[in-house]
Amino acid sequence: MRIRSQSRLRVAWAFAIFWNLVSAPATFLGAVPAIEQGKAVAWVALIFPFVGAGLLIWAVHLTLRFWRFGVSWLEMETATATLGGPLRARIAATRLPEDSTVHLTLTCINRIVTGSGRDRSTWEKVVWQEEQTVAREGLEPGPDGEIVPVSFRLPFEAPPTRSDNPNDRIVWRLEASARLAGVDYDEQFEVPVAATLPGKTPALEPQTAPVPAPSRPETSRIVVEPDPAGGTRFVLPAGRNIRATLVIALFSFIFCGGAALFFFLVRSGLRGNPFGIFVTSVIGVVLVPFTLLMVLITLHTGFLRTSVVAGPAGLAVTCRLLGLSWSLAAPSREIGDIAPKVGMQIGMTPYYDLKIARATGRPLTISAMLRDKREAEWLAAEIKQALR
């Protein structure tokens, strides 16, 4: 099966042109004269031309990428991949340099659409994700460029491709990217994935050697030490997700600053107007709780310290955040499997917690917030080993 890469070029240009055709007249015929007249509230309207400039830059960037690499094709060995089986394919990347290192990301996405009409919004939730890197030695020469081999093992528990409900779809997306001088290579493909038929097991690749246990990444900051009371202590220090903390803090800062500016401009422009005061008060009821929530998420991501003590007696988890602490525990006889699960995501980047199955009661969750899935798998394996 041959799949063409998804091009966002037409959508980018259409949206950028439409936005600027609407915002430019409103800015120069409405906002600028109002600013010259001393109306402070008109400064808020300048955000629209700045957004329009950003959209034009995005469209130009996609155009340069298309001129450099053209269209890529994904050739699958079978018409569809099957859950629990392998996904084997080849990416024909036109004009990709032969010394490139290609990063592949296969993601199962739950695409949810809410609202209707102009209020429609789309949210993509990461259900499952796997990554791998193809070094330049792994690339194969092709007629028009390099061939990138693709080989993933699909999980049994993930959902198959589903499109019967346009507001609740399951999409499997393969992204191939390479950081290059000038314009980077970045293409996406939608891959069809089918469910395993009842009573049938997908063909598995023969393994000549046992699967190695998850190893600790060199960049891991988790501290492993013996606990004085017995067992092993795993300490997940605060500040282990600097990038995620900075991104969330940036959005919190922009939102808080924008909200403060909005209140200042609206109140100064509608001073003495009862209706204006009422409107700003209603908006404040929504903005203040959301702003506090963003601040709490920033603090939780940046300053949470988690300590896990595992031993033959059981498991004890202690979390500390700015002087506050809370704990949870479970005896060994109640603990089942321990596996990584997606806890939060920023964009399409998932961060993994550990889900602890229990013989009775609801599962427990260790708030690990680990970006590296391999690190989460290693931590889960080490905790299970310490419980024995």
pLDDT in tens, 346-355: 888 999 999 9
Residue 368, classed as helix, strand or coil, is strand
Q: Which of 199, 114, 214, 106 is nearest to 158 (CA)?
A: 106
Residue 329 has pLDDT above 60, yes or no: yes
The answer for residues whose C-beta is within 8 angstroms of residue 144's C-beta and 6 or more apart is 92, 94, 95
Mean pLDDT in residue range 126-138: 92
pLDDT at position 281, please?
62
Mean pLDDT lowest among 125-139, 158-172, 198-212, 278-292? 198-212
Residue 154, classed as helix, strand or coil, is coil
Rg of the chain in Å (alpha carbons):
26
340 pLDDT band (50/70/90 cuts)?
Answer: very high
pLDDT at position 375, please?
92
Mean pLDDT in residue range 71-90: 91
pLDDT at position 106, please?
95
Cα pseudo-dihedral 64, 66, 69, 72, rounded to 10: 160
Residue 238 has pLDDT above 60, yes or no: yes
How confident is the prediction for the chain on average, in pLDDT? 84
pLDDT at position 108, please?
95
**pTM of this prediction?**
0.79
Mean pLDDT in residue range 66-79: 90
Strands, DSSP E only, in the chain? Answer: 2-4, 73-76, 81-82, 86-94, 102-114, 121-134, 140-141, 145-153, 168-178, 185-190, 193-194, 223-226, 232-236, 305-311, 314-321, 324-331, 335-346, 349-358, 364-370
d(CA 95, CA 77): 23
d(CA 176, CA 187): 5
Give per-residue pLDDT as tens, 17-62.
988 888 887 777 776 777 777 766 566 667 788 888 888 998 999 9
d(CA 165, CA 16): 29
- CA atoms within 13 Å, Cβ hemisphere of 41: 8
Give per-residue pLDDT as tens, 205-222.
555 445 567 788 888 899
- Residues 22, 250 contacting (CB under 8 angstroms): no
